[in-house]
Structure 1
């Protein structure tokens, strides 16, 4: 025993104690390593599970996105088709001008009525169409109408011609509803009915620059009359292309009338209710339309009849040949109005149908004089 009462250990005892402590330390380290390995395995299992869930979520997101893109594309196509059908009878250039004044560019109000100082209007129909329809099967009638409207679209394919209305056997087309020049839309006002030089100008929005016609439109009534007259002659030359399955095998008996004058126009059918919904229509009205209808209904098959006003503009344009035809009366007890047959246009390679192929007057459905 030492001086302080402590037990002195022998070297062997101290060596044994050291070995015991080392063994205990090794056991603790091994236990700690086992715990670490166990935790690492759990962590790796958790990470693997999370990665698998992440992959599944990503795959599900990709599938959902693909389905959503397909549905969005389908919806856009349907919306585009619906808008195309809705505005098929509206001149979009006029709607764009009106939209510049509206906070919401998709709000087209019925207040967009315009009065145009001078336009040229064409109307065409088929003489004897009712009797032709009565002698054909329904599917044959539809085939004839489809061929006729295809030719109408082909003849009036021009950025300055608007087909306002299509009937079963014809259409009404207008040129001169708008004027594009120097990147300015010129919208006619009611007071311009007596002064064609007066107009209110609306500068085009930058977003509309891509939609302007490729050829600048001239502010000239003669220019508009020339465009529509050329289209009318083209349509008349196409009449031989329509096959009417009848024993007579006659040329389609088209008759066309042209008239120039002032008119008013606007969109109808924008006011809808819960019980009724209508497709908006762009309509022209006024004495010019009444003159045109009378001029067409009293015209003859396979000929283009023009009023004196339209003929004067075509003479200014030059290159057209005319023949005087019987006058027509719009209102009873009024002075008859002059009219002419539009015979041909110089340097226009068209083969017009022969008048010998026209039907006789007794075969007409209705002749109004």
Structure 2
């Protein structure tokens, strides 16, 4: 997947040099208990579940200045602040998107196991990174730097249906203002040592209004049932 500005430069120049960004905000999420869910599901059920979940995610993020980097299995990665810079808005764009995704999953269940809750962990970090196109046969727009690694750690050390953010993200949101954040105790982060981290709880006055197309997961679940019935 290549963002449109990068694709346009690639077509015009045949190559796109790597670019450094002083500050971006990275989002990672994954499904809680995905290994256990997969072990008790058929491959088709797993694919349908992921397709349903990430269709909803893909539609949600179009309402924000956010670029979807990739999905790997049950992991979902998105970024704001590149390939086109947006000043200091990247932290708030990712924060609003994350709160919207969490709200959409409120009460959601695994489609083929109605009694099994479908929950995610989310992690966010803000900092510098380098981005560039890698490969020629199937070129990909890849992000590099410790900012990405830390964002991944925020996700893996998070808790179900919570948004775990780093101190750099918390400071960026403090500058913007209007976000409800709660301190978490000092955590020993693998590869990073002790870090002060936080939970993103909400936004004063609520997140920006969503479009009528910002459906909840249950709406996609209904779509899949209709598709299965028709087939």
Q: Using the alignment, how far apart are the partners of 2:57 and 2:146 within structure 1?
A: 25
| Bigger shift: residues 121-130 or 321-330 | 321-330
Q: Using the alignment, how far apart are the partners of 1:345 and 1:133 within structure 2?
A: 34
| 1:246 and 2:113 correspond | yes
**Rg (Cα) greater in structure:** 1
- For 2:99, the equivalent position in structure 1 comes to 233
* TM-score, structure 1 as length reference: 0.52
| 1:167 and 2:25 correspond | no
**For the Cα contact (< 8 Å) 1:324–1:340, is it kept in 2?**
yes
* TM-score, structure 2 as length reference: 0.81
Of residues 39, 43, 48, the one that matches 1:138 is 43
State the superposition RMSD in angstroms. 2.2
- For 2:227, the equivalent position in structure 1 comes to none
* TM-superposed deviation, 1:228: 0.7
User: In structure 2, do the counterparts of structure 1 residues 158 and 310 end up closer, same or farther at CA, with 3 Å as the change threshold?
Assistant: same
- For 1:90, the equivalent position in structure 2 comes to 2
1:98-127 deviations in Å (ceiling 9; x for gaps): 35xxxx72x432x52111110000001011
Give SS of 1:219's match.
Answer: coil
- For 1:287, the equivalent position in structure 2 comes to 146
Unaligned runs of 5+ in 2: 210-231
- For 2:201, the equivalent position in structure 1 comes to 343
Unaligned runs of 5+ in 1: 1-88, 181-217, 271-277, 351-369
**For the Cα contact (< 8 Å) 1:294–1:328, is it kept in 2?**
no
Greater fraction of residues in strand: 2
Q: Using the alignment, how far apart are the partners of 1:232 and 1:264 within structure 2?
A: 23
**For the Cα contact (< 8 Å) 1:133–1:141, is it kept in 2?**
yes
Aligned length: 207
Q: Using the alignment, how far apart are the partners of 1:242 and 1:154 within structure 2?
A: 17
1:31-52 deviations in Å (ceiling 9; x for gaps): xxxxxxxxxxxxxxxxxxxxxx
Greater fraction of residues in helix: 1
Higher-RCO chain (CA-CA 8 Å, sequence separation at least 6)? 2
**For the Cα contact (< 8 Å) 1:307–1:338, is it kept in 2?**
yes
Q: Using the alignment, how far apart are the partners of 1:124 and 1:291 within structure 2?
A: 13
The runs of at least 4 aligned residues of structure 1 exceeding 6 Å deviation read none
